[in-house]
Amino acid sequence: MIRLEKRPQPSGIWNAAAPVLAVLLTMVFGGLLFAALGNDPVEAIRTIFWDPLFGQFASFSRPQLLVKGGPLILIAVGLALGFRAGIWNIGAEGQYILGAICGAAVGLAFYPSEAWWLIYPLMIVAGALGGFLWAMIPGLLKVRFGTNEILVSLMLVYVAEQLLASMALGALRNPEGMGFPGSRNLAQHAGTANPEVIAGTGMHLGVATAFIVVILGYILLSRHLLGFHIRLTGESPRAAAFAGVNPGRLILICLGVSGALAGMAGLFEVTGPAAQISIDFNVGYGFTAIIVAFLGRLNPIGILLAGLLMALTYVGGEVASLMLGLPAAAIQLFQGMLLFFLLAVDVLTNYRIRIGRREVV
C-alpha cells in the first residue's frame, strides 16, 4: 500500500528537483505519444529539445527562443505575484490584448511622426495602463462585491478578443491597407518600432524588460515587506490579517501589477514580432504564462528558466511539425503534460511516499 505522509517542513531538495523530474517524465510520456503517432520518439524529442539550440538551423531558431520567451516571462512574473497570494488572474491574455490595443492606438495617433524618444515611452505607459485597467475590472468587482476573479478575468479575455477584432476592422485599420483588416505596420515605422537591443539575437526591448522584471520581482518577493505580505496572504489569510495586511489593497496591487505587465508584453509584441494589430494577434501567451509561472515554482528566477524551456517547446514544436509532420495538437498536448506532471510531482515537496502497511493515522 502506498501512502503519503506530510513532511514536518517542505523539502528544499524536492522543491528544486520537481521541475526537472517533471520535464523528464514529460519526455518519456511525450515520446510514447509520438511513438503512438508513428514517429521515432527519440528523434521527435531530439527535434524539440536539441535541434533548436544546436541543430542545423540553430542560428534561425535561437533568437526565436528569446522572442517567444520574453512575453511569457514578463507575464508570468506578474501572475506569480498574485498566485503567491492566492489571487488568481486567469485573464492575462485579455490584459495582453488591451495593452497592445492601447499602446498601438497612442502610437498611431502620432503617425507619421518619427519622434521615437517621445512616442515609444508614451506607448509603453499606455500599454501598461491598458492592461492595468482591464485587470482592475475583476479586481474592483472582487473587492467591492466579492465576485470570483477567476471567472471574471477569464470571461474578459473573450470580451478583449471581440474588442481586438473590432479594432482591427474599424478604428485602428490601416487607411492605406486596401480595406484589409489590421493596422499599419508598427514595427517598420521608425516612430513606433520595438528595436532589438543586440541585433540578431531576438533580444528586443520587451525581452530586456522581462529580464529586469525578473530581478525586480525576485527582490520584491524576498526582500520587500510587500513581497512578504504577498507570501503570507497566500499561506494563511488570517495570519496576514493579523500582520496588518489589507486584503482588498493587496488584491488590487496583485491584479494591477500582473495586468500592467501583461499589457506591456502586448505592447512590445505588437510593435515588434507581431508588427500590427490584427484579428489573430493574440496567440495564447497569456494562458501559457500560467503554466510558466507554476513550472517556475512561482519564483521569478524559476520563471526565467521555465519561460525559456516553454519557448523551446514552442520553437522545437514548430521545427518538429515542419520536419517530422507532427500535428500542432500533439505539441499542445506535450505542453499540457508538462504542467500535469509538475503538479503531480509537486506533492513530493510537502509529502513523502511511504510504501508498506499503514502505521500511523
Partner 1 sequence: MTETLLGIEGLTKAYPGVVANENVSFSIKPGEVHALLGENGAGKSTLVKTIYGLVKPDAGRMTLMGAPFEPAEPRAARIAGVAMVFQHFSLFDALSVAENIALGMEDPPKPRDLARRIREVSETYGLPLDPARVVGDLSAGERQRVEIIRCLLQDPRLLIMDEPTSVLTPQEVAILFDTLRQLSAEGTAILYISHKLEEIRTLCDAATILRLGKVVGSCVPKETSAREMAEMMVGGSLHVPERHPAPPGETVLRLSGLSAPSPRAFGTALKDINLDVHRGEVLGVGGVAGNGQDELLGALSGEILVRPGMIEMEGRDIGRVRPNARRRLGVLAAPEERMGHAAAPDMSLTENAVLSAAVRKAMLARGFVRWGQARTYAKEVIAGFDVRTPGPENAARSLSGGNLQKFVIGREILQDPEVFVVNQPTWGVDASAAAAIRQAILDLASKDAAVIVISQDLDELMEISDRFAALNEGRLSAPRPAAGLTVDEIGLMLGGAHDMDVAHLDHAEAGA
Residues that bind partner 1 (CB under 8 A): 8-10, 223-226, 228, 231-232, 235-236, 238-239, 241-244, 246, 358-361
φ, ψ for residue 284, nearest 5 deg? 95, 15
The least distance separating partner 1 from the CB of residue 350, rounded to whole angstroms, comes to: 8
Close Cβ partners of 278 (under 8 Å, ≥ 6 residues apart):
168, 181, 182, 183
CB of 359 to partner 1, least distance (A): 7
What are residue 355's DSSP bridge partners? 2
Give the residue from 150, 152, 160 showing the smallest Cα distance to 93.
160
Minimum distance, C-beta of residue 327 to partner 1, in the bound complex (Å): 42
Helix axes 300-323, 205-223, angle to 10 degrees: 140
Kindly state the smallest distance separating residue 1's Cβ from partner 1, in Å: 13
Q: Which of 87, 126 has the CB closer to partner 1?
A: 87
Report which residue type is found at 139: G
Residue type, 119: I
- Which residue lies nearer to partner 1 by CB, 198 or 239? 239
- Name the minimum Å distance from CB 35 to partner 1: 41
Residue type, 212: I
Q: Are 231 and 243 in contact (CB under 8 A)?
A: no
Give the residue with the Cβ less far from partner 1, 329 or 360.
Answer: 360
Closest by CA to 100, choosing from 74, 64, 73, 124, is: 124
Least distance CB 195 / partner 1 (angstroms):
34
Q: In this complex, which beta carbon is closest to partner 1, that of residue 200 or of residue 244?
A: 244
Least separation in angstroms between residue 221's CB and partner 1 is 11
Give the chain's radius of gyration (CA, Å).
Answer: 22
User: At which residue does the C-alpha cell 503519503 appear?
Assistant: 4
Q: Which CB, 71 or 234, lies closer to partner 1?
A: 234
Give per-residue burial for 86-117: e unless 16+ CB within 10 Å, then b: bbbbbbbbbbbbbbbbbbbbbbbebeeeeebe
**One-letter-per-residue 3-state SS of 111-137:** CCCCCHHHHHHHHHHHHHHHHHHHHHH
Could you give the CA distance from residue 153 to residue 145 in angstroms, rounded to a whole number?
15
| Residue 233: CB minimum distance to partner 1, A | 10
